[in-house]
Structure 1
């Protein structure tokens, strides 16, 4: 499969990311020497851009054969994919802007390598194997899932006894969720929106759909830029948390009446629908920072609109019957990865998540795990944090023996 991209430019992007991923650099030292993945075939379906390429190269440097494709039709950087395909041991099938058939053809190309381990972002590779290639399931040692939506899907699959091999829920471990989801999603989403629209956040009203870790990050960063933030939630505890952290809280269909920006972060469908479109401000900007392109119901918006046009790269304007303009970014896909200027999460954040991914690939090969979803071992998560602190030159205290005894015993009292 030929990739139309400048491999030299992609190489420069990957090299820059490598310079800012000290956790992966530390793991690379050991992988290069020990080759712990020698002979292992790894299938990956992730956002193919510079940071992901650093992870794929690392796995290959550890001895693995890697087949990789995208997990979103608009998030692939073709130059990075071309550069990655030129790396010994890596086969990249990711191309930007493919249609549905092209997307699944690329997944099939990865699966044809008959992976021993899968590394997923959203679960499509895992589900494709289960649905179309069940004969390969017995040969797969396990997998890793990167994102909230994928973990939700896998847990539902596990509940139905349909998941046929063990998968680490990388998304749910602290070194991923507390940094990647909060700071990565928050900063990269707002940066992408600002670059795509060339509009200001300060003094504007930003409505955030969902107050999980991603929503918390978007709200925090928008507030820091001087925006007034309103949170729409369905969980009473998260809504109360948002309220007590100083944000307005309102149902989505009410919140949109004052919104300048609406950013969804739920991973669920139909967060913004026809009723909301009917009461939005003229010129409102809609963006999805969740996962799949179902959070903003674009079918309903298109049916409601009397005209549509592309007003700027990555921005589709819908004109309503009463003349208002509703602007949707990146076709409702992940705004931090699917706009023409998007770069995804900062390298320092993905360094942590991908450090966990690399060590979990090793663990799933060595451990005798049952089918189903598994938490990332705490030792892996802590080790990644220790490497990061060391790289930053940050020192911390250690518990004394007496303190360890105290907190581990039930016998100490007043």
Structure 2
């Protein structure tokens, strides 16, 4: 019946993670998939989230369908987290928010909205970007192009080239931006660069679509949301997809949100109606448990404070692993420039290793990186950082 269909390629990151799981070598190290691992190599659930789950279990009852957009208190909590309690757009009711099936769901629902509202517009993604960005927008029927972002030779952001390319785009072009912890490079814009870019996009009447998957892992929960707030302050209409997978450890619960900042409250109402129609025709309503967990944590002052401290601990541990790997590589390879580890931010670093070197790390040393050379720093710990550095030294040397 389906023999005429072409074979679909495996997702490169998920397939690599499956290969890691099958690897029988006891000393294997997973630096491929974008998940936060603690100092013991385990996938943690923050204590605040565990407490929220305990409370929900204690008052468990019927499990009806949620509203299409999720619970109102979830949306309120998300807007406060992203924009801050006192932001004018929040107070004016200019932001349409709905709970989604992870941030992937938010990206896809947002792509559907943009295709319907601006059928002639294309989306522009950074070069490079997360592998699934192109696929999500392409499958929603949008043309996908790239703007310059990262210089592989210098390991730095190509900001002037970025601005030149974006400044030449036609009005209503969609520009996908990573708010922090750029995936895969770890190279982020400074606040001054965000300010310059926001003004440029406002002059060109462009539409920012911000992917915020790693809030809390770069400079802190509020600082990592600063680009979102800055774009809104510049008077831009924008979309924001955010995820709770990493900072709340609810990966498999699939909890994210889509927020659309509109010129006024009336347009926000129209947009929310369109978003609900898109969701209804797709998965109908979001998962209950995930949304309730996030709402319980964010809307309880004590739980939110405890959660914020735990996320800060994750950030500091990841930064400590950056510094540790940099120091060991400096000792093992005196002529090797590993300073990119200190310049880049968040969970990822772009190592500059070739696909052949990445293959050698995996096959000979049981160290797993994505073939682009992207490394997930949270997979490092005190028990494996020396071994990883030794392996890198061998494949380079």
Q: TM-score, normalised by structure 2?
A: 0.32
Per the normalisation by structure 1, the TM-score is 0.31
Structure number with greater CO (CA < 8 Å, separation at least 6) is: 2
